[in-house]
Amino acid sequence: MNYYTYWSVSELPSNTKSFDVFFWIAIVSFVLWILIKRFKKKNDDYEKMILLWSVGAIFSLSIIVFFYLKLYTTDTTEKRIQNLFKSPNVMVVEGKISNFESFSPASRRGWVTIERFRVDSINFQYEDALLGRFNTFTKTNNGIFKNGLNVRITYGKMRHEILKIEIAKKT
């Protein structure tokens, strides 16, 4: 049976690299420094000077960290994910989804939607946590998963953590 990848941990929407974060901090702090320099009135209490030095220090530090991360470190995220898929602690199960249920119990984090199902005697469960709504996989009640759907799931052996979901192509 042919499958297409519906979701994979290697395709997470969080493609932000650590050096990108410091790049944007540097840009924002530089713009803020210019705005303070131009529009803040000089007082006798040195407020403008303190702000300029503080924002300048943040800008300088973020530029240094940006160049360090960009030029002297390597991102091994993809390699680690591929090693995870090849690990002996990772299993693959193929079959039809059964016992699919979706429910929303009240929790301390508010209303959380939980979906659970079974594939070939393996139980899976995930929840749409507060920040999970930004992730396409945890967008629950989307009508994709239902009883009888042919899937292939790559998961962690110990806690049944879903690493990859593939759905059978219709022929």
pLDDT value at 36 more than 60: yes
Question: pLDDT higher for 74 or 37?
Answer: 37
Q: Is 80 exposed, middle or buried (0-12, 13-18, 19+ CB in 10 A)?
A: exposed
Question: pLDDT tens across 79-111, in order?
Answer: 878 888 888 989 999 999 999 988 777 666 566
Exposure b/e, 15-47, CB count within 10 A at least 16 = b: eeeebeebbebbeebbebbeebeeeeeeeeeee
pLDDT at 12: 63
Which residue did the predictor score with more confidence, 135 or 109? 109
CATH class assigned to 3-12+89-168 = mainly beta
- Express each pLDDT in 49-59 by its tens digit: 999 999 999 99
Tokens representing residue 19 in the block: 């050096």
Q: Order of strands, edge to edge, in the sheet holding 113-119? A: 3-8, 162-168, 150-156, 90-103, 113-119, 122-128
Enter the pTM of the model.
0.61
Nearest in space to 115 (alpha carbons), one of 98, 105, 100: 100
Name residue 153's beta-bridge partners. 93, 165
82 φψ region: left (φ > 0), alpha (ψ -120 to 50), beta (else)? alpha
- Portion of the chain with pLDDT greater than 90, in percent: 38
